[in-house]
Amino acid sequence: MDLEKLDALIDPCRLCPRNCGARRRTGKPGHCGAGAEPLVGSVGPHFGEEAVLVGRGGSGTIFFAGCNLGCRFCQNWDLSHGLAGRPMAVEDLARAMLALQEHGCENVNLVTPTHFAPPIARAITLARQGALRKPMVWNCGGYESVEALRALDGLVDIYMPDLKTLDPEWAARALSAPDYPERAREALREMQRQVGDLQVDNRGVAVRGLLVRHLVMPGQSADARASLEFLAREVSPRTFVNVMGQYHPCGEADELEGLGRRPAAAEVNSARALARQLGLRLAEN
C-alpha cells in the first residue's frame, strides 16, 4: 500500500482511466462529479449480495455517491449520477467500518469506491489500528487505473469488479468509456495478481481473492461469451464469477437501441452454461 501515491493521484485527478486532471482538493469536481471528500449514500448490512459475501451476518456495505463510469442504464442512478450522499470525514468513515464489524457483518463492502480511493485507504488504515479484522471488499465497475490498484496492494482482501463488456463500440455507447474493455482487462489481471482466486473459510464465506460480476445484457450474447472466455483464459480458469440476469431498463436505457427489455431466460442460461463449460466457478445470490 502506498498512501502518498494515492494522495498524489487525486489532485490533479488520475485515479481512474479518464485522467480528467480535476483539481478536486480545491473544489473542482472530477468527471465522477465528486470533490475530494467521500460522499456516502448509506451504511449497513446487506443480504442481497453473493452468498459467499453474505454468510450469516450480511455484507457490510458502504455505498459511495458518484461514479467514474457513465452507465446510461445504471440501477443506482440517484447515487451514481445524482450524487445522493452526505460528506463523511475519514475518521467517521473508519468508525462506520468498525460499526459494521460490531454489528456482525462478514466483511466491509465498499461500493463504487474508485474515485474516493485516497480517503478510503486512510480510513481502512485507521480502522485497522482500531481492531478492524473483517475482509475489505473493493466493489467496483472494473474501470480502474492499474497505477491506483498497485497503490492499494495489501489493503484490499477481496476485489469484486464488474466485467461489463469487451466491445469498445458498446462501451462507448452505453458506458461513455470506449476504452473500458482494454482498461478492464488490465485491471482484472492486476487484481488477480494481488489476491488470487477466491478463497472461502470453513463456513463458505469469502476471505480473500477475486470475484467477478458479469451482467447479462439483452442481445449481447457474443459479448458475454467473449467476457467469460477472457476470464477463463487470461485471468484464471478458476475465477469465481456471478453471471447475473437481473438487468432491467433504468436511467436512460430506453434511449439506447436494444436496452429497453430484460434479457431472455435463454440468454442468461446460455451464459451460465458457458461459464460452467469453461470451468469457471459460479457464484450465487
Q: In this predicted structure, what is the pLDDT of residue 95?
A: 97
Domains and CATH numbers, the chain: 3-282 (3.20.20.70)
Task: Decide if pLDDT at 118 tops 90.
Answer: yes
Would you state the cell numbers that stand for residue 168, as one nine-digit string?
A: 469498445
Residue type, 147: E
Mind listing the pLDDT tens digit for each residue in 183-242?
Answer: 999 999 999 999 999 999 999 999 999 999 999 999 899 999 999 999 999 999 999 999
The confidence band for 36, taking pLDDT boundaries of 50, 70 and 90, is confident
Instruction: Tell me which residue has cell 446510461.
Output: 72
**Residue 45 φ/ψ, nearest 5 degrees:** -70, 140
Mind listing the pLDDT tens digit for each residue in 61-91?
Answer: 999 999 999 888 888 877 777 777 899 999 9
If you average pLDDT over residues 52-57, what whole number do you get? 96
Q: Percent of the chain beyond pLDDT 90?
A: 79
Please, what is the average pLDDT of the chain?
Answer: 93
Mind listing the pLDDT tens digit for each residue in 128-159?
Answer: 998 999 999 999 999 999 999 999 999 999 99
Distance in angstroms (rounded) separating the CA atoms of residues 4 and 15:
13
Most confident of 10-14, 104-108, 168-172: 104-108
Task: Decide if pLDDT at 261 tops 80.
Answer: yes
Task: Decide if pLDDT at 253 tops 90.
Answer: no
Q: In this predicted structure, what is the pLDDT of residue 114?
A: 96
Q: In this predicted structure, what is the pLDDT of residue 42?
A: 94
Would you state the cell numbers that stand for residue 281, as one nine-digit string?
A: 466457478
Q: In this predicted structure, what is the pLDDT of residue 252?
A: 81
The confidence band for 182, taking pLDDT boundaries of 50, 70 and 90, is very high
Task: Decide if pLDDT at 255 tops 90.
Answer: no
Residue-wise DSSP of the chain: --HHHHHHHBTTB-SSTT-----GGGT---TTS--SS-EEEEEEEESSS-HHHHTTT-EEEEEES--SS--TT-TTHHHHTT---EE--HHHHHHHHHHHHHHT-S-EEEES-GGGHHHHHHHHHHHHHTT--SPEEEEE-S---HHHHHHHTTT-SEEEEB---S-HHHHHHHHS-TTHHHHHHHHHHHHHHHH-B-EE-TTS-EEEEEEEEEE--TT-HHHHHHHHHHIIIII-TT-EEEEE------TTGGGSTT-SSPPPHHHHHHHHHHHHHTTPEEP--
